[in-house]
Amino acid sequence: MSRLTITARDAATGPVLEIAGDLDHSTAPELRRVVDRLPVTGGQLLVLDMADVQFCDSSGISALLAARNLAMEKGGDIALAAVPANTARILRIIGLDRVFTLHPDASTATSPGP
Protein backbone atom coordinates (compact mmCIF):
# COMPACT_ATOMS: atom_id res chain seq x y z
CA MET A 1 0.00 0.00 0.00
CA SER A 2 1.37 3.35 -1.06
CA ARG A 3 0.73 6.47 0.98
CA LEU A 4 -1.32 9.18 -0.75
CA THR A 5 0.24 12.58 -1.32
CA ILE A 6 -1.52 15.51 -2.94
CA THR A 7 0.37 18.56 -4.12
CA ALA A 8 -1.53 21.63 -5.25
CA ARG A 9 -0.24 24.17 -7.73
CA ASP A 10 -1.75 26.89 -9.87
CA ALA A 11 -1.83 26.98 -13.65
CA ALA A 12 -3.21 29.62 -15.98
CA THR A 13 -6.35 27.50 -16.37
CA GLY A 14 -6.91 26.96 -12.63
CA PRO A 15 -5.74 24.66 -9.84
CA VAL A 16 -3.82 21.46 -10.50
CA LEU A 17 -3.67 18.63 -7.98
CA GLU A 18 -0.79 16.20 -8.41
CA ILE A 19 -1.94 12.94 -6.84
CA ALA A 20 0.52 10.18 -5.95
CA GLY A 21 0.09 6.83 -4.25
CA ASP A 22 -3.03 4.77 -3.64
CA LEU A 23 -6.44 6.37 -4.04
CA ASP A 24 -8.60 3.93 -2.10
CA HIS A 25 -11.09 3.56 0.73
CA SER A 26 -8.67 4.82 3.35
CA THR A 27 -7.24 7.75 1.33
CA ALA A 28 -10.15 8.98 -0.81
CA PRO A 29 -11.47 11.19 2.03
CA GLU A 30 -8.19 13.14 1.92
CA LEU A 31 -8.71 13.97 -1.76
CA ARG A 32 -12.25 15.11 -0.96
CA ARG A 33 -10.95 17.37 1.85
CA VAL A 34 -8.32 18.94 -0.39
CA VAL A 35 -10.80 19.54 -3.21
CA ASP A 36 -13.33 21.04 -0.78
CA ARG A 37 -10.75 23.68 0.21
CA LEU A 38 -9.74 24.59 -3.35
CA PRO A 39 -10.66 28.04 -4.60
CA VAL A 40 -12.16 26.91 -7.92
CA THR A 41 -14.05 29.77 -9.54
CA GLY A 42 -16.28 30.13 -12.57
CA GLY A 43 -14.53 29.38 -15.83
CA GLN A 44 -11.56 27.66 -14.19
CA LEU A 45 -10.44 24.13 -14.89
CA LEU A 46 -9.49 21.83 -12.03
CA VAL A 47 -6.91 19.33 -13.27
CA LEU A 48 -6.24 16.13 -11.37
CA ASP A 49 -2.81 14.90 -12.44
CA MET A 50 -2.86 11.15 -11.82
CA ALA A 51 0.57 10.32 -13.28
CA ASP A 52 1.80 8.89 -9.98
CA VAL A 53 -1.38 7.12 -8.83
CA GLN A 54 -0.45 3.51 -8.11
CA PHE A 55 -3.95 2.15 -7.42
CA CYS A 56 -7.52 3.46 -7.58
CA ASP A 57 -10.53 1.57 -6.26
CA SER A 58 -14.24 2.41 -6.29
CA SER A 59 -13.80 4.83 -3.39
CA GLY A 60 -11.18 6.66 -5.43
CA ILE A 61 -13.53 6.80 -8.42
CA SER A 62 -16.22 8.18 -6.11
CA ALA A 63 -13.80 10.87 -4.89
CA LEU A 64 -13.06 11.83 -8.51
CA LEU A 65 -16.80 12.20 -9.13
CA ALA A 66 -17.17 14.29 -5.97
CA ALA A 67 -14.36 16.55 -7.21
CA ARG A 68 -16.15 16.92 -10.54
CA ASN A 69 -19.43 17.80 -8.83
CA LEU A 70 -17.75 20.41 -6.63
CA ALA A 71 -15.90 22.02 -9.54
CA MET A 72 -19.11 22.22 -11.54
CA GLU A 73 -21.09 23.62 -8.60
CA LYS A 74 -18.56 26.45 -8.45
CA GLY A 75 -18.94 27.13 -12.18
CA GLY A 76 -15.72 25.43 -13.17
CA ASP A 77 -14.85 22.22 -14.94
CA ILE A 78 -12.54 19.28 -14.34
CA ALA A 79 -10.08 17.22 -16.36
CA LEU A 80 -8.04 14.15 -15.52
CA ALA A 81 -4.45 13.98 -16.73
CA ALA A 82 -2.08 11.04 -17.12
CA VAL A 83 -4.64 8.51 -15.92
CA PRO A 84 -2.91 5.16 -15.38
CA ALA A 85 -3.94 2.47 -17.88
CA ASN A 86 -5.69 0.27 -15.31
CA THR A 87 -7.76 3.20 -14.01
CA ALA A 88 -8.49 4.47 -17.54
CA ARG A 89 -9.79 1.01 -18.41
CA ILE A 90 -12.20 1.09 -15.48
CA LEU A 91 -13.35 4.59 -16.43
CA ARG A 92 -14.07 3.33 -19.97
CA ILE A 93 -15.94 0.24 -18.74
CA ILE A 94 -18.27 2.26 -16.51
CA GLY A 95 -18.70 5.09 -19.01
CA LEU A 96 -16.88 7.78 -17.06
CA ASP A 97 -14.54 8.43 -19.98
CA ARG A 98 -17.54 10.32 -21.38
CA VAL A 99 -18.00 12.27 -18.13
CA PHE A 100 -14.39 13.31 -17.57
CA THR A 101 -12.14 14.98 -20.11
CA LEU A 102 -8.95 12.88 -20.22
CA HIS A 103 -5.56 14.27 -21.21
CA PRO A 104 -2.26 12.45 -21.72
CA ASP A 105 -0.48 14.76 -19.24
CA ALA A 106 -1.00 17.84 -17.08
CA SER A 107 0.76 20.22 -19.46
CA THR A 108 -1.69 19.31 -22.23
CA ALA A 109 -4.63 19.71 -19.84
CA THR A 110 -3.48 23.16 -18.75
CA SER A 111 -2.44 24.54 -22.13
CA PRO A 112 -4.67 27.36 -23.34
CA GLY A 113 -7.31 26.40 -25.90
CA PRO A 114 -7.35 27.74 -29.47
| 104 CB neighbour count, 10 Å cutoff | 11
Q: What is the percentage of the chain residues whose pLDDT exceeds 70?
A: 97
Q: In sequence order, what E strands does the chain have?
A: 5-11, 14-23, 45-56, 77-81, 101-103
Q: Is the pLDDT of residue 114 over 80?
A: no
Q: Is the pLDDT of residue 52 over 80?
A: yes
The pLDDT, as a whole number, for residue 1 is: 64
pLDDT tens per residue, range 16-41: 999 999 999 999 999 999 999 998 88
Fold classified for 5-107: Transcription Regulator spoIIAA (3.30.750)
Q: Which residues of 82-97 are buried (b: 16+ CB within 10 A; e: fewer)?
A: bbeeebbebbeeeebb
Q: How many residues are recorded in the chain?
A: 114
Domain ranges of the chain: 5-107
* Per-chain mean pLDDT for the chain: 95
pLDDT tens per residue, range 59-86: 999 999 999 999 999 999 999 999 999 9
Q: Which residues of 31-40 are buried (b: 16+ CB within 10 A; e: fewer)?
A: bbebbeebeb
Reported confidence tier of residue 107, pLDDT bands at 50, 70, 90: very high
